[in-house]
């Protein structure tokens, strides 16, 4: 490796997390530890009805019997689930009518994060359900959504206001006993977003929630449930960033998507949680269960994710294709740097006839990080005419990182048409040389190449998000990627 | 199927005790046997909960409670003619129930001997401590046979290992193994075939180890055929030194359950490894191919092409792993797996896996699962070829790509003959 490259590498791997700051807001904590009384506490805090409490207790009973999974290609010290506080909320204040009434420290936080809460109202027509830790602070554009009949609110509110929808759909895609982290979430989830788009309605704007982990030693357990009724369409954006911490923070969210007949859900994520410092200290553990079901015929679910943060990512946004002619898509860019570890991918389960799925996964590893793609394409016996195309490419920057692919293909139907491709390589010296010859330095050239490498996925993001995604890619691979 | 794997293990351990008592061996081997027996006690037969056996269960094979067959003492060379490949001039090596009982005169520079002690230059004899079949193999090993080719010798005629299993009287579990060493610059072609003598159930537990010295070139054709109660668990470990070239051609054509572990260690720079596989399965045949190419040093190249045709109720498994260690820069590793599903009940599970720990590499894998192209079938039918014949023709063409890789014409013809014969039955 020549000197220039070394400089470049140390620059890439030496940059620190820029969004590291904390907001001082008074918190209300649940006592540290987890037992049934914690769940009673959370449920009570949320003013939940009795059936919800029972649902949580049932999940907790199942969780107690489960083992933490160890099959993922990640290493981390075991989490002590008894040393975490399971609930933190900013102190209750009276309901706010306008932005001026929001705590100025909060507004400041949003501004540092680059979330133009004020501007967004006018600019992009984005309704923001901003979540600091676990309680929804502010919801905008509610009136406009109400006009269309779209319900977009905190899930705790939905439990009180729309129990019939919650009872019907909560846990439909990710049941309470699905896996270790999902069960934990089912027992202790504090808040999250709820979206219901009624029949034949096109949601008038992109829905968006910003998450932010803000309290030390507080696990964040978000629960999101999105339902698109027959013929409905909704696009949902999720973006996250978290302040710098020394101790690992656990995040075990659950996202459930339900698309009924002819409905379409587009779910986009840009995730930039604190990845730990360059020595691998600290950082968020992101153990997320995301799953959608294409329940009705001709429905479609599309996951797009740009993952740049977290010390450890364990995340497999999946689609159950049960409706005939339904479509599942997964587009992902995962960037790991320093000591980050990502084990991410998707599951496409073909159950209905003529179902289609498409997987495009781009992994970029730098520093001492490990980046794994783990995916499953399963075609059930009666899923005639299933079609899948998968592509997973890895780009390696530096000689201490690793890129791995673990694709599982289980095909039980002769009419299936399944293709899978994967490649791993580094940025070719010839390509860099070509750029150098034309007056583009290594740094810019690397940026161009990484951008081009990820373009297929970035293009799938909504316009407002694509800008932020590029910014996050730049921060993650600071120095060479922009 | 009424026998639990645990009970079978007890039965086997009991057998091993009795067997060891009346089979003396060199001291080193006695130690190995004792270690292996101890290891068996701590291991269990594979279950689908084990990642390496996720798609394959051997219950059908061990349910027949196979035990090692009684030894045979001698054979008549004329009787062997039926197991020779038509028209193939080869040096035959005949192994019955795991013992080499006959061989043609060996060409110059080739030696065949029993080991009296474990040679220091050979790799550790038990590289897979968690594999119960490898331990059973060692616990019941009467001696290590070594086939050696001297440095610089180019062996003209292929060496044909005929592996026979005597299942005429009872259900058998047969241990079969050979160590092969190829000296620097040696060139050699190997052919392995296996046959059962009787109709009882048979489980062939085979372990082949090949050691290639620098710049040696080895071609290795393995043909697996068997009746509906014949199963195989086969491990082929290959250790390649710098500049060597190893090409494996694995044909799994019939049987009950076939599980192959092909494990290549690329230990010297500028080595090349080529892995070609073809599996044809129908009825209830289950074929599981695991390959592992372990790139340990820089500047090596590996290519893999595995193709499968699955009909009837057959199940196919392909798990191909390319492992590139941190120091193995400038590695080029490619892998392709293509499968045809020809019937409603056929299943294919595939897991092409890349584990890359170095950055300056070019690695790729591709995998397809599908059925015959309707447009192409129509093209043939529009030209007066019946639907059955069209299908057979296309599958034959699909399969021949792998056969064409084999260098020896007689072996190619033999394989094409079997494939053509099988296609008449496997396509409805």
* Extents of the domains making up chain B: 5-373
Mean pLDDT value across chain A: 78
Q: Is residue A464 part of a domain?
A: yes
Measure the CA–CA gap between B335 and B28, rounded to whole angstroms.
Answer: 39
| Cβ neighbourhood burial of B102 (10 Å; 0-12, 13-18, 19+) | middle
Contact A420 B365 (CB under 8 A): yes
Task: With a cut of 80, say whether residue A43 has pLDDT above it.
Answer: yes
Q: What is the structure's pLDDT at A118?
A: 45
In this prediction, residues A247-254 reach a mean pLDDT of 76
Question: Residue B56 pLDDT > 90, yes or no?
Answer: no
Q: pLDDT value at position A38?
A: 83
In the structure, what pLDDT confidence band is assigned to residue A32 with cuts at 50, 70 and 90? confident
pLDDT of residue A427: 82
Which of A241-255, B19-33, B46-60, B295-309 has the weakest average pLDDT?
A241-255
Residue B336 CA to residue B321 CA, distance in Å, equals 11
Q: Token digits for A238?
A: 């999720």
CB contact under 8 A, A414 and B341: yes
- Co-location of A308 and A451 in the same domain: no
Tens digits of residue pLDDT in A377-388: 999 988 999 999
More confident of the two residues B127 and A84: A84
Contacts of B118-121 with C-beta under 8 Å, sequence gap 24+, read B118/B28, B118/B32, B118/B144
Would you place residue B411 in the very low, low, confident or very high pLDDT band (cuts 50, 70, 90)? very high
C-alpha to C-alpha distances, A390 to A78, A330, A367, A405, B39, nearest whole angstrom: 33, 9, 27, 12, 41
What local confidence, expressed as pLDDT, does residue A228 receive? 94
Query: A243 or A428: whose pLDDT is higher?
Result: A428
> What does the pLDDT read at residue A476?
64
pLDDT surpasses 60 at A107: no
Chain A interface includes B31 (CB < 8 A): no
The residue with greater pLDDT, B349 or A96, is: B349
* Contact in structure between B230 and B260 (CB atoms under 8 Å): no
Query: Which pLDDT value is given to residue B361?
Result: 87
Range list of β-strands (E), A337-453: 341-344, 347-350, 356-366, 370-379, 387-397, 402-411, 417-426
Tell me the mean pLDDT in the region A430-457.
85
Q: Shortest CB distance from A416 goes to which of B359, B361, B369?
A: B369
Closest by CA to A46, choosing from A122, A202, A160, is A160
Q: Where does the pLDDT of residue A209 fall: very low under 50, low under 70, confident under 90, or very high at 90 and above? A: low
Tokens linked to B166: 């005597």
- Give pLDDT, residue A246: 44
pLDDT over 50 (residue B98):
yes
A308 and A436 in a common domain: no
Query: Cβ of B373 under 8 Å from any chain A Cβ?
Result: no
Q: Report the largest interatomic distance among the alpha carbons of chain B, rounded to a whole angstrom.
A: 71
pLDDT at residue number A423:
87
pLDDT of A279 over the 80 cut: no
Q: Which of residues 423-442 of A touch B (CB under 8 A)?
A: 423-426
Above 90 in pLDDT, residue B23?
A: no
User: What pLDDT is recorded for position A7?
Assistant: 59
- B104-119 mean pLDDT: 84
CA dist., res. A248 & res. A75, Å (int)? 13
Chain A contact for B356, CB < 8 A?
Answer: yes
Interhelix angle B27-42/B5-21, rounded to 10 degrees, is 160
Alpha-carbon distance of A193 to A156, in angstroms, equals 8
The mean pLDDT of A149-154, rounded to a whole number, is: 85
Q: A376 and chain B: CB distance < 8 Å anywhere?
A: no
Residue A404 is nearest to which of B345, B356, B360, comparing CB atoms?
B356
Q: Does B311 touch chain A (CB under 8 A)?
A: no
CB–CB contacts below 8 A, A to B: 111
The span from the CA of B347 to the CA of B308, in Å, is: 11
How close is the nearest chain B Cα to the Cα of A424, in Å? Answer: 5
Number of C-beta neighbours around residue A433 at 10 A = 12
Which residues does A394 contact at the CB level (< 8 Å), separation at least 6?
A362, A363, A364, A365, A371, A373, A403, A405, A422, A423, A424, A425, B354, B356
B377: left (phi over 0), alpha (psi -120 to 50) or beta: alpha
Higher-confidence residue: A80 or B105? B105
pLDDT on residue A346:
93
Is residue A213 pLDDT above 50, yes or no?
no
Least reliable range by pLDDT among A413-427, B2-16, B170-184, B306-320: B2-16
pLDDT level of residue B389 (50, 70, 90 thresholds): confident
Higher pLDDT, B306 or B72: B306
Of A195-199, A447-451, A456-460, the range with the highest mean pLDDT is: A195-199
The reply to whether residue A408 touches residue B347, judged by beta carbons under 8 angstroms, is no
Domain end: A315, A330, A352, which one?
A: A315
Phi, psi of B289 (to 5 degrees): -110, 120
pLDDT given for residue A136 in this prediction:
46
CA distances from B21 to B37, B39, B114, B140, B211 (A): 13, 18, 20, 11, 32
Q: What is the spatial distance between Cα A386 and Cα B12, in angstroms, rounded to a whole number?
A: 45
pLDDT at residue B83 tops 90: no
Query: Quick one: DSSP state of residue B158?
Result: P
Residue A121 covered by a domain:
yes
- The answer to whether residue A327 sits within a structural domain is no
β-pairing, A417-426 vs B286-295, is unpaired
Residue scoring higher pLDDT (A303 or A472) = A303
Of A92-96, A401-405, B106-110, minimum mean pLDDT range: A92-96
Nearest CA-CA distance, residue A39 and chain B, Å:
34
Of chain A, the percentage scoring pLDDT greater than 70 comes to 75
Test mutation, A364, A369, A410, chain B, max B CBs within 10 A: A410
Would you say residue A357 has pLDDT above 90? yes
Q: Are A457 and A331 in contact (CB under 8 A)?
A: yes
E-strand ranges in B311-360 read 315-324, 331-341, 347-356
Label residue A233 by pLDDT band (50, 70, 90): very high
| Residues of chain A contacting B344 with CB distance shorter than 8 Å | 381, 413-414
Do A54 and A195 belong together in one domain?
A: yes
Give residue B425's pLDDT: 46
Q: Tokens 């101890």 map to which residue? A: B38
CA pair distance B233, B206, nearest whole angstrom: 6
Residue A330 clears pLDDT 90, i.e. is over it: yes
Range with top average pLDDT, A7-21, A161-175, A448-462: A161-175
CA B399, CA B402: separation in Å to the nearest integer? 6
The answer to whether position A252 is within a domain reads yes
Residue A32 DSSP one-character state: B
Residues of A in contact with B345 (CB under 8 A): 381
- Judged against a pLDDT cut of 50, whether residue A242 lies above it is answered with no
| pLDDT score recorded for residue A273 | 76
The CA distance from A285 to B94, in Å, is 59
Confidence tier at B125 by pLDDT (50, 70, 90): low
Beta bridge partners of A197: A228
Question: How many residues are there in chain A?
Answer: 482
A123 touches chain B (CB under 8 A): no
In this predicted structure, what is the pLDDT of residue B286?
Answer: 93
Q: Does B428 touch chain A (CB under 8 A)?
A: no
> Last residue of a domain, which of A263, A290, A315?
A315
Q: Number of folded domains in chain A?
A: 2
Is A59 in contact with A176 (CB distance < 8 Å)? yes
Whether residue B423 is predicted with pLDDT greater than 90 in this model: the reply is no
Residue B423, classed as helix, strand or coil, is helix
Give CA–CA dist B259/B62, Å, rounded: 14
Looking at chain B, the whole-number percentage of residues with pLDDT higher than 90 is: 36
pLDDT at B4: 63
Q: Give pLDDT, residue A428.
A: 78
Using a CB-CB cut-off of 8 Å, the residues of chain B touching A381 are: 344-345
User: A29 CB near a chain B CB, below 8 Å?
Assistant: no
What does the alpha-carbon distance between residue A240 and residue A270 come to, in Å, rounded to a whole number? 7
> Which of A214-223, A465-474, B327-336 has the largest mean confidence?
B327-336
Selecting from A394, A396, A406 the residue whose C-beta is nearest the C-beta of B353 gives A406
Q: Any chain A CB within 8 A of the CB of B372?
A: no
Q: Which residues constitute the domain of residue A140?
A: 3-315
Domain end, chosen from A288, A315, A342, is at: A315
Q: Which is higher by pLDDT, A234 or B125?
A: A234
Residue of B nearest to A418 (CA): B369
Confidence class of residue B338 from pLDDT cuts 50, 70 and 90? Answer: very high
**Position with higher pLDDT, A241 vs B69:** B69
Residues found in chain B? 428
Among A197-201, B25-29, B55-59, the range with the most confident prediction by mean pLDDT is A197-201
ipTM over 0.85: no
Residue A343 makes CB contacts below 8 A (sequence gap 6+) with: A72, A73, A74, A312, A313, A314, A315, A372, A374
Angle at B134 between CA B130 and CA B136, to 5 degrees: 110
Residues 35-94 (B) with a CB less than 8 A from some CB of A: 51, 55
Q: A234 with A198: CB under 8 angstroms?
A: no
* Contact yes or no for A394 and B368 at CB 8 A: no
């Amino acid at each position: 490796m020549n000197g220039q490259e070394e400089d470049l590498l140390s620059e890439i791997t030496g940059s620190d997390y820029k969004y590291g700051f904390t907001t001082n807001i008074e918190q209300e904590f649940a006592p540290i530890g987890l037992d049934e009384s914690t769940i009673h506490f959370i449920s009570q805090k949320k003013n939940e009805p009795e059936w919800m409490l029972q649902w949580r207790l049932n999940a907790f009973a199942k969780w107690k019997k489960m083992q933490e999974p160890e099959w993922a290609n990640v290493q981390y010290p075991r989490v002590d689930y008894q040393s975490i506080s399971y609930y933190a909320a900013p102190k209750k204040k009276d309901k706010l009518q306008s932005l001026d009434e929001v705590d100025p420290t909060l507004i400041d936080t949003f501004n540092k994060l680059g979330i133009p809460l004020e501007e967004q109202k006018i600019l992009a027509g984005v309704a923001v359900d901003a979540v600091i830790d676990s309680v929804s602070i502010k919801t905008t554009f509610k009136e406009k959504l109400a006009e269309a009949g779209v319900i977009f609110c905190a899930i705790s509110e939905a439990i009180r206001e729309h129990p019939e929808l919650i009872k019907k759909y909560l846990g439909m895609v990710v049941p309470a006993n699905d896996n270790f982290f999902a069960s934990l979430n089912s027992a202790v989830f504090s808040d999250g977003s709820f979206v219901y788009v009624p029949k034949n309605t096109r949601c008038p704007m992109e829905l968006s929630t910003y998450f932010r982990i803000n309290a030390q030693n507080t696990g964040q357990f978000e629960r999101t449930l999105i339902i698109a009724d027959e013929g409905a369409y909704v696009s949902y954006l999720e973006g996250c960033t978290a302040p710098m911490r020394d101790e690992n923070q656990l995040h075990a969210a659950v996202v459930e998507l339900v698309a009924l007949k002819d409905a379409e859900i587009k779910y986009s994520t840009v995730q930039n949680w604190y990845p730990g410092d360059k020595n691998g200290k600290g950082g968020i553990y992101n153990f997320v269960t995301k799953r959608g079901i294409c329940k009705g015929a001709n429905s479609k679910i599309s996951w797009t994710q740009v993952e740049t943060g977290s010390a450890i990512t364990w995340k497999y946004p999946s689609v159950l294709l049960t409706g005939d002619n339904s479509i599942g898509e997964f587009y992902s860019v995962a960037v790991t740097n320093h000591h980050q570890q990502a084990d991410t991918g998707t599951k496409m389960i073909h159950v209905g006839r003529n179902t289609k799925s498409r997987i495009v996964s781009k992994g970029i590893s730098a520093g001492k990080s490990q980046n794994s793609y783990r995916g499953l394409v399963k075609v059930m016996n009666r899923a005639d005419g299933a079609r899948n195309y998968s592509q997973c490419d890895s780009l390696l920057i530096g000689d201490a990182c690793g890129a791995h692919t673990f694709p599982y293909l289980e095909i039980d139907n002769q009419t299936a048409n399944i293709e899978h491709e994967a490649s791993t390589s580094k940025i070719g010296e010839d390509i860099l040389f070509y750029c150098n010859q034309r007056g583009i330095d290594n740094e810019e050239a690397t940026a161009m190449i990484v951008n081009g490498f990820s373009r297929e996925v970035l293009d799938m993001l909504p316009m407002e998000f694509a800008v932020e995604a590029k910014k996050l890619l730049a921060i993650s691979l600071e120095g060479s990627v922009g | 199927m009424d026998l639990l794997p645990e009970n079978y293990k007890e039965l086997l351990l009991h057998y091993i005790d009795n067997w060891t008592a009346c089979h003396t061996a060199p001291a080193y081997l006695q130690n190995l046997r004792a270690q292996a027996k101890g290891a068996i006690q701590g291991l269990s037969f594979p279950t689908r909960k084990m990642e390496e056996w996720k798609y394959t269960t051997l219950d059908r094979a061990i349910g027949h409670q196979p035990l090692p067959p009684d030894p045979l003492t001698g054979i008549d060379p004329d009787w062997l003619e039926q197991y020779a490949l038509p028209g193939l001039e080869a040096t035959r090596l005949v192994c019955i129930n795991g013992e080499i009982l006959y061989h043609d005169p060996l060409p110059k520079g080739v030696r065949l001997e029993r080991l009296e002690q474990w040679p220091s230059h050979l790799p550790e004899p038990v590289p897979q401590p968690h594999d119960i079949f490898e331990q059973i193999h060692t616990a019941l090993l009467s001696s290590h046979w070594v086939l050696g080719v001297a440095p610089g010798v180019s062996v003209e005629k292929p060496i044909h290992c005929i592996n026979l299993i005597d299942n005429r009287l009872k259900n058998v579990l047969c241990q079969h193994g050979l160590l092969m060493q190829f000296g620097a610059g040696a060139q050699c072609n190997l052919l392995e075939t296996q046959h059962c003598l009787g109709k009882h159930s048979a489980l062939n537990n085979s372990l082949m180890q090949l050691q290639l010295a620098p710049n040696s070139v080895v071609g290795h054709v393995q043909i697996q055929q068997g009746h509906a109660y014949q199963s195989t668990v086969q491990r082929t470990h290959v250790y390649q030194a710098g500049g060597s070239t190893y090409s494996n051609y694995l044909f799994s054509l019939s049987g009950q359950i076939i599980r192959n572990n092909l494990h290549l260690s690329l230990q010297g720079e500028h080595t090349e490894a080529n892995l070609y596989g073809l599996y044809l399965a129908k009825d209830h045949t289950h074929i599981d191919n695991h390959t592992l190419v372990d790139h340990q040093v820089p500047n090596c190249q590996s290519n893999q092409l595995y193709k499968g045709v699955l009909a009837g109720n057959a199940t196919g498994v392909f798990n191909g792993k390319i492992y590139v260690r941190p120091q193995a820069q400038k590695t080029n590793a490619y892998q392709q797996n293509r499968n045809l599903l020809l019937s409603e009940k056929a299943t294919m599970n595939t897991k092409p896996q890349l584990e890359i720990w170095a950055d300056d590499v070019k690695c790729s894998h591709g995998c397809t699962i599908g059925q015959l192209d309707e447009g192409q079938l129509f093209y043939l039918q529009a030209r007066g070829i019946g639907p059955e014949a069209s299908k057979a023709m296309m599958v034959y063409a699909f399969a021949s790509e792998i056969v064409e890789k084999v260098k020896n014409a007689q072996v190619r013809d033999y394989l094409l003959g079997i494939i053509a014969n099988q296609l008449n039955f496997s396509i409805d």
